[in-house]
Amino acid sequence: NAGVTQTPKFQVLKTGQSMTLQCAQDMNHNSMYWYRQDPGMGLRLIYYSASEGTTDKGEVPNGYNVSRLNKREFSLRLESAAPSQTSVYFCASSEDPGAARSYNSPLHFGNGTRLTVT
C-alpha cells in the first residue's frame, strides 16, 4: 500500500509565483488535511476536508486554497507565493469519526513537500 503520496518532494519558487501541491491517498479515507511544519511551532493546520466536496479553514489558511478533487485527492494551491510560506508541507488522511463521534482514528501522513520561496 502506498498510503499517502505527496508530490513534489522539493520545490523552489520565486516570490509571486504560483504552484499546486498534490496529495493522494489509497486508504479510502473520508478526511484529509494539509499541515505546515515550521521549527519550534509544531504542525499547524492549513485546511481540512471532512469528505469529498467539502473543505474548511484551519489555523493558518491565508495565502492558500484547496481542492478536494475526489475522495482520493486533496490539493493545496499557493496563488502568489511569499517568503513566509517557506515551510515543509504535509498532507494527511484519517478515517471518518462517523456518527459515533469516535476520534480514535490516527492520522496517516505523506512524506512532505519542502518548499522554499525566495
Give the residues lining the site for another protein (CB under 8 A). Answer: 4, 31, 33, 35, 40-43, 45, 48, 50, 56, 58, 90, 92, 94, 97, 101, 103-112
Least gap, CB of 16 to another protein (angstroms): 28
Min separation Cβ 38 and another protein, Å:
10
Report the residue number, 13 or 91, with the smaller CB distance to another protein.
Answer: 91
Q: Indicate the pairing of strand 64-68 with strand 56-57.
A: unpaired
- Tell me if residue 85 falls in helix, strand or coil: helix
Q: Give the residue with the Cβ less far from another protein, 17 or 30.
A: 30
Which CB, 33 or 78, lies closer to another protein? Answer: 33
- What are 21's strand-pairing partners? 76
| Sequence-ordered strand ranges (E) for the chain | 4-7, 10-13, 19-25, 31-38, 42-49, 56-57, 64-68, 74-78, 87-94, 108-109, 113-117
Query: Residue 71 or 109: which CB sits closer to another protein?
Result: 109
